Amino acid sequence: MPRKLIIFDLDGTLVDSYEAIQDALVHAVTALGGVPWTPEETKRRVGRGLEVLMEEAVGEANAAEGVRLFRERYPRVFLEKTTILPGVAEAIPALKARGRTLAVATNKPSDFSRRILDHLGLGAHFDLVLGPLDVPRPKPHPDMLNRIMADLGFGPGETLYVGDMTLDAESAANAGLPCLLVATGGHSRAELEATGRPVLDSISQLLEWEEP
C-alpha cells in the first residue's frame, strides 16, 4: 500500500557526505595526537551522532574537544565534499509528484542538513527536516520520527521510513514504522538483510515499491 508520508535518513541514504565527515574527523583526531580511522571505517561508524562518533574516535576524556575541533573544520568543507547519491535526483521529485509528503530525520544537525539539501537542489521537496537538536533524544530513539508524524499530521499506518544502516531499522522499529533499507551507506547488504527489512540497491527502486 502506498504510504502518504515517507521519512528519509540523510547520510548514506540521500547524500554521500562521508568525504566531508572524514576530512573533519581527521582534523580533530590528528590535532589530539591520535591516528584517524580509514575512510571505510569512518563510513561504518557514522550514524549515531557526532558526540558518539568522537567518543569512539578519541576516547571519552577527549570527546568534547574532539567535537569542538570537528565543528571548527566541518563548516568549511561540508558543502563542497557532499554529493547526491545515484537515483536520488530522479526519485525524490517523482515521489513528490505522486503526492507523497517527504521529510528527513537525521542525526546530523538540521541546519547543516537543510543547507546540504538546498545546495543539491532537493530542499524544496521536503516539508520537514529534523535533527538531534530538535528532539529530546536522537535516533534510534523514536522521538524524531514521532515528531515528524505529529507535526505533519500522519500516523504510523500512513508512514514509511527509509534508511541505510541497521540503526535505521532499529529506529523504525522503535517508532512502529515499516522500513526499507538501501545499500548505499555504511553497512553491507548482508548486514542490512539480517535486520529482516527489505533492502534496495538504489533509492530509485523506491519508485517500484511506492506505486502511484
Helix (H, G, I), strand (E, B) or coil at 152: helix
Q: Specify the range with the lowest mean pLDDT, choosing from 7-11, 48-52, 63-67.
A: 48-52
CATH code that applies to domain 18-77: 1.10.150
| Exposure of 116 in the CB half-sphere (CA atoms within 13 A) | 28
Residues of the chain with CATH 1.10.150: 18-77
CATH number given to 5-16+82-209: 3.40.50.1000
% of the chain residues with pLDDT over 90:
92
Long-range contacts of 123-129 (CB under 8 A, 24+ apart): 125/92, 125/93, 125/95, 125/96, 126/102, 127/101, 127/102, 127/103, 127/152, 128/103, 128/104, 128/152, 129/103, 129/104
Give catalytic status of residue 9 as yes or no.
Answer: yes
pTM for the complete prediction? 0.92
The pLDDT of residue 189 is: 94
Query: How many CB atoms lie under 10 A from the CB of residue 138?
Result: 24
Residue 209: the pLDDT is: 83
Residues of the chain with CATH 3.40.50.1000: 5-16+82-209
Asked if residue 211 has pLDDT above 70, the reply is: no
* Separation CA 8–CA 168 (nearest Å): 10
Catalytic residue among 9, 16, 143, 164: 9
pLDDT in tens, 158-207: 999 999 999 999 999 999 999 999 999 989 999 999 999 999 999 999 99
What integer pLDDT is reported at residue 119 of this predicted model?
Answer: 97
**pLDDT tens figures, 31-42:** 999 999 999 899
Locate 165 and state its grid cell: 544502516
Per-residue pLDDT tens for 129-155? 999 999 999 999 999 999 999 999 999
- Separation between Cα atoms, residue 8 and residue 24, nearest integer Å: 24
User: 143 catalytic, yes or no?
Assistant: no
